[in-house]
Copies of this chain bind each other. A is one copy, B any other.
Amino acid sequence: MAQLFDRVAILGVGLIGGSLGLALRRGSLARRVVGVGHRQASLDLALKMGAVDEATLDPLEGVKGAELVVLGTAIRLIVEMGAKVAPHLSPGVVVTDVGSTKSEIVRRLEKTLPAGVSFVGAHPIAGSEKRGIDAARPDLFQKSVCVLTPTAATDPKALRRVSDLWTAVGASVFTLSCEDHDAILARTSHLPHLVAAALVASLAAPDARFVGPGLRDTTRIAAGDVDVWCDIFLSNRAAVLDAMAGFTERMSELRRAVESGDRAQLAQLLAAAKSRRDSLRPE
C-alpha cells in the first residue's frame, strides 16, 4: 500500500487510536506515527506493541510537524484537546476525530480550529465493548464501517484524504450529515444500550438462576464502560430522546396487543419484527 501521510499524530492511544496506529504502521501508510497520551504506562505499551513510532505526554510536542492529527480521546475531551493544539497547527494540516457522536463535536471543533486547518468528522464503528491500548488490534477496522460527516465548511481534499485513510485500514466509508449520523446511531447503538440497561435493571432477586441465552444476548452491551456511554448519551441527547420516544411507541403497541389479547394484532407486530430482524445483514 502506498504511503498516504508523512507524520501522523494520534492524540489518545486507546483501543481506537492504538488500533489505527497499528494499522497505519503495518500498512506503511504513514512515514511516522506519534502517540500522545496522559499516562506513561499506556504510551510505553503502545510503543512496545508497535502502535506508534514515538510517544509523548505533551500534545503540543506531539502535533509538531504532523500532517494529520487524529483526536482519539474520550468524547468529552475531544473538543478540549482540539482547542489546546489548535494554535500550534499550520495551514494545510488535516484534523479528524473518532468520536461516536458527531453534531456537537463537529460544530464546536469547526469554530475552534484556525483558518487553513481542515477538519473532517469521523466515526469508525468498531470495538465498542473494550477500552484501552491493551485491546488494540491492527485488524480492528477490517470489514468495519466508518462514517464521515462533512459539512458545508469541509475541504473536499481533506475529506478525500481521511476517506482514503479509513479505506486503507479496511473500513467501508460512508458519508452522512452529522444529524443523520447521530439519529441513525441513536437507534442502532445508543437506544439498544439504554434498553439493555433497563432490562437488566428490571430483574428481581430470584431471577438470576433462570437467565437463559435470550436475556444474556439482549443485555450483553449493558456491561459496557459507564463513562464512555455517559459521554455518548449526553453528547447526543436530542437524537437519543427521539429514539427512546419511537421505541416507547413500539412498546406501547405491543403492550396494547397483549393487554387486549388480540392475537392477530400481536402476531402481525411480531412477524414484522421477525422479518426485519431476519433481513439484517448477516453477522
Residues of chain A having any CB pair with chain B under 8 Å = 125, 128, 145, 147, 174, 180, 183-185, 187-189, 191-204, 206-224, 226-227, 229-230, 233-234, 237, 240-241, 243-244, 246-248, 250-251, 253-255, 258-259, 261, 263, 266-267, 269-274, 276-281, 283
Given contact pairs A199-B250, A201-B269, enumerate 17 new A-B contacts (beta carbons under 8 Å): A128-B213, A145-B209, A147-B210, A184-B210, A188-B210, A189-B214, A189-B215, A192-B218, A197-B254, A208-B279, A219-B277, A222-B273, A222-B277, A226-B270, A234-B261, A244-B251, A244-B258
How far is the CB of A143 from the nearest CB of chain B, in Å?
12
10 A-B pairs with CB atoms under 8 Å apart are A188-B214, A192-B218, A192-B219, A197-B250, A197-B269, A198-B250, A214-B220, A234-B258, A237-B258, A241-B259
Instruction: Specify which of B188, B195, B211, B247 is in contact with A281 (CB 8 Å cutoff).
Output: B211
Copies of this chain held together in the complex: 2
Among residues of B, the one whose C-beta sits closest to the C-beta of A263 is B230
A273 close to B197 (CB less than 8 A): yes
Among residues of B, the one whose C-beta sits closest to the C-beta of A147 is B210
B223 close to A278 (CB less than 8 A): yes
A212 close to B274 (CB less than 8 A): no
Interface majority SS (helix, strand, loop, mixed), chain A: helix
Collect the chain B residues with CB atoms within 8 Å of residue A203's CB. 187-188, 276
Collect the chain B residues with CB atoms within 8 Å of residue A194's CB. 251, 254, 258
**7 smallest beta-carbon distances between A and B, as pairs:** A197-B273, A198-B250, A192-B218, A222-B277, A201-B250, A214-B221, A223-B277
State A224–B201 Cα separation when bound (angstroms): 24
A223 close to B187 (CB less than 8 A): no
How far is the CB of A146 from the nearest CB of chain B, in Å?
11
Collect the chain B residues with CB atoms within 8 Å of residue A223's CB. 274, 277-278
A209 close to B274 (CB less than 8 A): no
How far is the CB of A135 from the nearest CB of chain B, in Å?
15
Collect the chain B residues with CB atoms within 8 Å of residue A220's CB. 214, 217-218, 277
